[in-house]
Structure 1
Amino acid sequence: MGVPQLDRAQREVYKRLVRTAVASREASTEAGLEETLLELINIRVSQLNGCAACLATHVPAARKAGVPQDRLDLLPAWRDIDEFGEPERAALRLAETLTRLDSVGEREAATAAAAEHFDEDQLSALEWSIVLINAFNRVSIASDHRVRFED
C-alpha cells in the first residue's frame, strides 16, 4: 500500500482547505498586505518544514510578484541581511515562531513586534497565511508530493 495522497483521498476536505486559502489571500489583499511579503512568508515556512513541493510553487510565485532573486537566495539569513526591512523582519519572525511553535513568551514577543508594523486586520491575515502554508506543507509532506524538474 502506497502513501495516501491526502489531496485526492479526501477530496472534499482538500477543496475546503483550498477555499480557505483563497479566502485568506483575499483577506490579506483587502488588509493591504503585499503579495511579495506573503510569498516570502510562504517560502520561509516551507523552508523550515522542508516542503519541496511548496517551495517549487512559491519561489516562482515570489519571483513573479517581484521579489529579486538575491533576496530569495538570502531568505534563510533574513536576520543578518539589512535589505529586509523591519516590517518584513517582524512578519518573518512571526512566521518562524508560529511554525516552530516556540514558547508562549517568544510567540507573544513576535506578535507584539509584528503589531508595531501591522494593524489588527493585517496581523490576523498574516497569522492565517502562516497557519495555512503550514497546513499545505503538511499535506504535501504527508502525501509525499514530489517536485518534477523539466529537462
Structure 2
Amino acid sequence: MTHRPYIDKTHPEIYRAMNAAVLAGRKAYEDAGLPRDLVELVNVRVSQINGCPTCLSVHVPAARKAGVDALTLDLLPSWRHDTSGLFTSTQRAALGLAEALTAPQPGTGRPSVDTAVAEAATEFTEQQVSALEWAVILINAYNRISIGSGHPPVPQS
C-alpha cells in the first residue's frame, strides 16, 4: 500500500459513531457549564502534543472564535512555565488534566492522572472534570483518526 486509507471513509459507520460521541460530549460540556473557550484550549493543547495538523487547523481558529486570545494560543506550549499569570488557575487545571490523559508518563516529572484529576477537582465540579476528561479522550481519538489517515490541514477561508 503506497498511501494511507482515510479510515473515516473506509469505515464510515465507525466515524459516524465517533461524531455521535462528539455531539454527546458537547452536550455534556454545555450541561456541566464548561465554557467553549476552555474546551477549545484543551483541544488545541492535545492536538499540539499529538502533532495533528488537521485538528490544529480546525481547533486553533475555533479557539479564536470562542474568545481565546492570540497571546494565550502563542504561549500555550509553555503554559507550565508561564509566570506572568496569563493562564488562569482554571485553564492550568484543565491543561494539566489534558496533558496527563494525553501523554501519561510516570516517572518523567509530569503529574500523574491521579494528581491532575485531584488538581482539576479544586477548580471544577465532578461533572465538569468528567466532561473535560471526555473532551480530552474525544480529541485524542480524532487526532489519531487524522494522523492515521494522513488527513491534510483544513484550508482557512
Same fold (TM over 0.5): yes
Alpha-carbon displacement from aligned partner over 1:104-125 (angstroms, at most 9, x marks no partner): 9711111100011111100000
Is 1:139 aligned to residue 156 of structure 2? no
Shift of the alpha carbon at 1:72? 0.6
2:5 corresponding residue in structure 1? 4
TM-score, scaled to structure 1: 0.95
2:134 corresponding residue in structure 1? 128
TM-score, scaled to structure 2: 0.91
Conserved 8 A contact 2:57-2:155: no
- Partner Cα distance (2:134, 2:105) in 1: 17
Is 1:112 aligned to residue 125 of structure 2? no
Pick the structure with more helix per residue.
1
Alignment of 1:1-151 (within 5 A): 1=1, 2-81=3-82, 82-103=85-106, 106-149=112-155
**Gap change, CA 1:95 and 1:86, over 3 Å in 2:** same
Shift of the alpha carbon at 1:148? 5.0
Count residues in correspondence: 151
**Gaps in structure 1 of 5+ consecutive residues:** none
Counterpart residue type for residue 43 of structure 1: V
- Partner Cα distance (1:121, 1:51) in 2: 28
Root-mean-square deviation (CA, aligned residues, Å) is 1.6
Shift of the alpha carbon at 1:70? 1.0
**Gaps in structure 2 of 5+ consecutive residues:** none
After TM superposition, the structure 1 stretch with the greater mean CA deviation from structure 2, 118-127 or 80-89, is 80-89
Alpha-carbon displacement from aligned partner over 1:50-69 (angstroms, at most 9, x marks no partner): 00000000000011111111
Runs in 1 of length 4+ with deviation above 3 angstroms? 148-151
Shift of the alpha carbon at 1:149? 4.4
- Partner Cα distance (2:39, 2:10) in 1: 29
Secondary structure, aligned partner of 2:112: helix
